[in-house]
Structure 1
Amino acid sequence: MRPRIFVTQPIAPHGLDRMRAVADVEVHPDATAPIAKASMIEGVKRADYLVCLMHDKVDAETIAANPNLKGVISMAIHPQLIDVKALEARNIPLTVIPPMVSEATADMAMALILACGRRVLEGDRLLRSGIYPGGQSNYLAGLGITGKTIGLIGGGGRIGKLVAKRCNGFDMKVLYSTPRRKSEAEEREAGITYATIDDLLRQSDIVSMHSPLRDDTYHQIGDREFGLMKPTAYFVNTSRGPIVDETALVRALQNKTIAGAGLDVFEHEPNVPPALLVMPNVVLTPHLGSAVLDLRIEMAEIVASNAIALIEGRTPPNLFDFAGPVT
């Protein structure tokens, strides 16, 4: 019998075709929502290998559904939603993808910064409703981006530096805050200035999140931090949802503690607080950070290469190291 692969959501066709050359591939057809756990379990039962996306939760129950599961091929850089201990206990290999979404995610952060500051979605909705205030009306006056101060929390990494590069093009002052300050040469090259997180929050016209999700960054931003921000400032998150206390964010927006927010990630994805859905000063996107066509094609090719290597008994190019940290 040919090996069987179950894919939790459609991915780029050429990657699927490459896997079909060596295995029977079943794809859960719904691309509009993450696969339900029950459907994933049923798919795992019918497969030798599971191909899952970053947003799929692969827990111990899912892994146990098939005693003969031979491998999990993830389209995630960090398998935070996969029970790696359950896989390790059964010696089931896990593959991931390399860090490759930085440029696309930085683009998304910049898109949200501009959309929030210039009130792009509010203008779009207004125009579609038949209202045209006029080219010099103050009705939708927003925050000019050029020359303003942006604060990048966790901004010393790959994505933060790329956001800084884009902001430098707008002549913005770029503050960053990380647990370990970068060298002066690195700061100068990236065009960033170090600040404590509290000073960053007080000074910034826009605060953008770039912290990795760890135990020490869970709810890194809450009531106290929003209270330090300017009432005219905007908050943007393209990192991970649980870094922000979403209930505190809703309070800050409702109480006009901050001016607005741009969010690509949420604390309890795919669920979004109903209060955020009705706020006109909030721009919401469904985790589109890496949703760039050529990038998704490349990601599918890497997934296919990992799957084919496992099937052929070779070491996959992106084999996850169970002994290393899950960051």
Structure 2
Amino acid sequence: MAPPPTRPQARPRPKVIVTRRLPQLVETRMAELFDVELNLSDEPMTAAALADAAGRCDVLVPTVTDEIDAAVFANSGRLKLLANFGVGVDHIDLGAARAAGVVVTNTPGVLTDDTADMVMALILGVPRRLAEGEKLVRAGEWNGWSPTGMLGHRITGKRLGIIGMGRIGRAVATRARAFGLTVHYHNRHRLPAEVESALEATWWDNLDAMLARVDIITINCPHTAETHHLVGERQFALMQRQAYIINAARGEIVDENALCEALTAGRIAGAGLDVFENEPAIDPRLLDLPGVVLVPHMGSATFEGRQAMGEKVIANIRVWADGHRPLDQVLEGWA
């Protein structure tokens, strides 16, 4: 008699460590699928804790608040996948990850509309002095309407300069056109003619030339070695005095000290910032300057966006655990 067929053994579930609290549905699904260790306190992990976690898991799920440097990979023999909860990966030493044989994934495409909405809110809010008006009301200092009270500037008919014309930059351009702004952009590569035509966008291969000609500048490029302090003292000197700058990308792209000096000297009219160079620390000068709107890195903070990010992370882990290349692998050429 032939022996009964053997049932294939279940593949062991990967050990996954998550560095911060994620949406509850995401955490619950992870618990169903993986051997997961959650950070229920939501306290940011120290460098030592991150290094320890990397040595105990197959998959680490970090966020933008985690500095994943070479030290994290130094004793991470077990770690094989870094499934980043977020799009930007400038907090991850990608070279060290490659050297350690760790695959890195991110969550592109799911935060485009949320971030573009925040950019548009800042484009509207700064020239119209919404934050100043709100503070005036809360302080009990508003004495009623007057013909010259809280005057700002309309945005219709103004020129918008977009630095970085990827998914988010194009989404901002679409919104800006609906508000009557003329779109200009600077990008490493010029967009196809049909895309430029649809957005009615003018390309500038020279950033300085664009900065000198637009009324509002919005930064929508990633933070890299090439874009670090892309906008600094020299660039602010080129801008028109009535210009506003909006940043909902990464704080390090703007030299924050140069920004404060430009605002203080009146070389530009105002700024709308969702990110900061040394966040959560903020240059105290920004807190007291008029014409500045400050929000706490909340461009992607929607329930829908966070849920979609979590689903991307889970999908990347599952595809990797099944022995396939994750859909959102950041670096090319890895097995």
Structure 1 length normalisation: TM-score? 0.88
Q: Which of 7, 32, 41 is residue 18 of structure 2 equivalent to? A: 7
Distance 1:203 1:133, change over 3 A: farther
Q: Does 1:17 align with 2:22?
A: no
Q: Does 1:260 align with 2:266?
A: no
> Is this contact kept in 2: 1:231–1:259, CA < 8 A?
yes
- Give the C-alpha shift of residue 24 in structure 1: 3.1
Residue pairs, 1:156-175, within 5 angstroms = 156-175=165-184
Distance of 2:318 and 2:305 partners within structure 1: 20
Q: State the Cα RMSD in Å.
A: 2.4
Q: Is the 8 A contact 1:240 1:267 kept in 2?
A: yes
Length, aligned pairs only: 322
Residues 213 and 131 from structure 1, CA distance in 2 versus in 1: closer, same or farther, beyond 3 angstroms?
A: same
Q: 1:218 to 1:320 in 2, by over 3 A?
A: closer
Q: Secondary structure at the match of 1:5?
A: strand
177-186 vs 244-253, greater mean Cα deviation: 177-186
* 1:262-290 deviation digits (Å, cap 9, x = unpaired): 01122233332222233232111222222
Structure 2 unaligned spans of 5+:
1-11
Matches within 5 A, 1:33-72: 34-72=44-82
Compute the displacement of 1:315 (Å). Answer: 3.9
Query: Which deviates further from its counterpart, 40-49 or 270-279?
Result: 40-49
Task: Say whether the 8 Å CA contact 1:84–1:322 is kept in structure 2.
Answer: no
Paired residues of 1:153 and 1:211 also in contact (CA < 8 A)? yes
In the other structure, the counterpart of 2:5 is none
**Which shows bigger deviation, 160-169 or 197-206?**
197-206
1:312 Cα deviation after fit: 4.6
Contact kept? 1:19, 1:308, Cα under 8 Å = no
1:270 paired residue number: 280
Deviates more, 1:294-303 or 1:270-279: 270-279
Aligned to 2:149: 139
1:213 match = 223
TM-score (norm 2): 0.86
Matches of 1:69 and 1:136, distance apart in 2: 63
Whether 1:279 and 2:279 are equivalent positions in the alignment is: no
Which residue matches 1:100?
A: 110
- The alignment-based identity, stated in percent, is 38
- Show structure 1 runs of 4+ deviating over 6 A: none
Counterparts of 1:231-250 in structure 2, within 5 Å, are 231-250=241-260
Highest Rg: 1 or 2?
A: 2
Contact 1:116 1:261 in 2 (8 A): yes
Q: Per-residue CA shift, 1:188-217, capped at 9, x if unaligned?
A: 211212344334323322111123333332
Partner of 1:28: 39
Which of 72, 95, 98 is the equivalent residue of 1:88?
98
CA deviation after TM superposition for structure 1 residue 113, in Å: 0.9
Rate the CA distance shift 1:182–1:314 in 2: closer, same or farther, 3 A. Answer: closer
Q: Secondary structure in 2 aligned to 1:319? A: coil
Unpaired runs of 5+ in structure 1?
Answer: none
Taking the aligned partners of 2:167 and 2:126, their CA distance within structure 1 comes to: 23
**Secondary structure in structure 1 of the residue aligned to 2:195:** helix
| Code of the aligned partner of 2:298 | L
Change in 2 beyond 3 A, CA 1:304/1:157: closer
Q: Which has the higher contact order (CA 8 A, sep 6+)?
A: 1
SS of residue paired to 2:83: strand
Pair 1:151-2:161 in alignment: yes
- Closer, same or farther: CA 87–157 of 1 in aligned 2, 3 Å: closer
